[in-house]
Amino acid sequence: MSIRWKLPAAGITLCLAGLGACSDGPETTPAPVPETTAARAPGVVHTLLEDYRVVTVAEGLDVPWSLAWLPSGEMLITERSGNLRILRDGVLQSEPITGIPAVKAVDQGGLLDVAAHPNFGYNRLVYFTYSKPATDGSGSSTTALGRGRLEGNRLLEVEEIFVAKAWSDTNGHYGSRIAFDDAGHLFMTVGDRQAPPSGDLKNHPAQRLDTHQGKVLRLNEDGSAPADNPFSGVSGALPEIWSYGHRSLQGLAIHPVTGQLWQTEHGPQGGDELNLIVPGSNYGWPVIGYGVNYGPGAPIHQAQRQEGMEQPKYFWVPVIAASGLMIYNGNAFPEWKGNLFAGGLAGQKVVRLEVSGDSVLSTEVIFSGHRVRDVREGPDGFIYLAAEDSGEILRLEPAR
């Protein structure tokens, strides 16, 4: 393992709750606080509240997408190309875990999220999402959820327990994060599959309830739809839908104390969002938002807000290409407890967001220099990052 400390400066921005990234907001715009530059010493990064070192935990990975831990301390890592890898006793095993089904590893597609069942010690179940290719030769694909029982280096009894009604011949906006609650459910995100925002915006797939495109889903652990979902029994609506009106959902996390479900998604050219998910709610894409069309910057949305559609709790202009999302609950960085941490791809950063209730009070860039696909808290309380550009898993450790 090698210590890496060649990090650009971190910075902080304060903003009024709910107004976004201190750019033009829908009501008033707070005056931004000048960016604070992080001081550095060899091997140490100083942020406003905590100092840390960066350690390389694993390298040589092919676009690492997600991380998960087993009770043994072993780490599961997905590679977008379709391999599920395991880090055992601090060593990345050379052979991938067998049993993963075929994935469409093209552009944004491939093997995506991974999570161990909350009762893994009893049932040894591992869940994963992936881009499922069609078998009819059409070239289309969708987002699917699978699970299998992990024994040694093999996934056994692999089942495809949910296939989203989000088939498309595009190769992007699959989602797809999964998160377990403590009541026997899992949440899963499915992107809008790059459906163009044109014509009747309110008839866009993300706005319709007869498709899983652009949705947060709530499933039972076997992939079925809970009877108490908000659209269960509604004519023409898919019963798995928990919320809708989303674009490209890359982050999902349940607050370990409050139980709130937080989510991040990519906007177009501008308008990445942090949302607090309320069941049955419409989050607006593409009818409302804070971005514009790629290239010429032509308008997309009807407005920035509209009655009956939720506002983000925070938004980024310009975007960071929001990816993995984590809510810190460990003891290694006590000053960060309860904060949200959002990875950024195009932004090549990790943003710390201080929240109170459902409001964002401040933000700070605590890490820069890599396309961060995932951010996770380890069982040791350290923070782990999947750097897709360098193929590394990095660990932030306290510098005390």
Q: What does the pLDDT look like over 373-396, one tens digit per residue?
A: 999 999 999 999 999 999 999 999
**Which segments of the chain have a pLDDT < 50?**
1-40
- Per the CB < 8 A criterion, the answer to whether 36 and 386 are in contact is no
- Non-local (6+) Cβ contacts of 230 within 8 A are 241, 242, 279, 280
pLDDT reported for residue 42:
60
Is 370 one of the catalytic residues? no
pLDDT reported for residue 17:
33
pLDDT tens-digit readout, 182-239: 999 999 999 999 999 988 999 999 999 999 999 999 999 999 999 999 999 999 999 9
CB neighbours (10 Å) of residue 317? 18
Q: Which one is catalytic: 173, 246, 301, 370?
A: 173
pLDDT reported for residue 295:
83
- Per the CB < 8 A criterion, the answer to whether 333 and 381 are in contact is yes
Structure tokens given for 349: 């950063």
- Cα 116 to the center of its chain, rounded Å: 16
**Which residue is listed with tokens 């942090």?**
274
Strands 372-377, 215-220: pairing kind? unpaired
* Residue 18 exposure: Cα atoms within 13 Å on the Cβ side: 10
DSSP states along 167-220: -BSS-------EEE-SSSEEEEEE--TT----S-GGGSGGG-SSS-TTEEEEEE
pLDDT reported for residue 41:
52
| CA geometry: angle 47, 250, 308, nearest 5 deg | 105
pLDDT reported for residue 278:
98
pLDDT reported for residue 211:
98
* Residue 188 exposure: Cα atoms within 13 Å on the Cβ side: 33
pLDDT reported for residue 107:
94
Tell me the C-alpha distance between 2 and 37, whole Å: 25
Q: Which of 147, 197, 175, 288 is nearest to 242 (CA)?
A: 175
pLDDT reported for residue 158:
98
Q: Which of 307, 306, 314, 300 is nearest to 265 (CA)?
A: 314
H or E segment and range at residue 73: none
pLDDT reported for residue 222:
97
Give the single-character DSSP code of 278.
Answer: -
Amino acid at 360: V
DSSP states along 72-83: TS-EEEEETTS-
- Per the CB < 8 A criterion, the answer to whether 12 and 363 are in contact is yes
pLDDT reported for residue 148:
98
pLDDT reported for residue 294:
86
Length of the chain: 400
**What is the spatial order of strands in the sheet that 178-180 belongs to?**
178-180, 185-190, 215-220, 241-244
pTM: 0.90
Taking phi first (over 0 means left), then psi (-120 to 50 degrees means alpha), and beta for anything else, what does residue 194 get? left
Count of helices and strands (H, E) across the chain: 1, 28
Tell me the C-alpha distance between 243 and 173, whole Å: 17
Q: Which residues does residue 288 pair with via DSSP β-bridges, in sequence order?
A: 303
Q: Which of 79, 116, 124, 83 is nearest to 102 (CA)?
A: 83
Domains along the chain with CATH numbers: 3-398 (2.120.10.30)
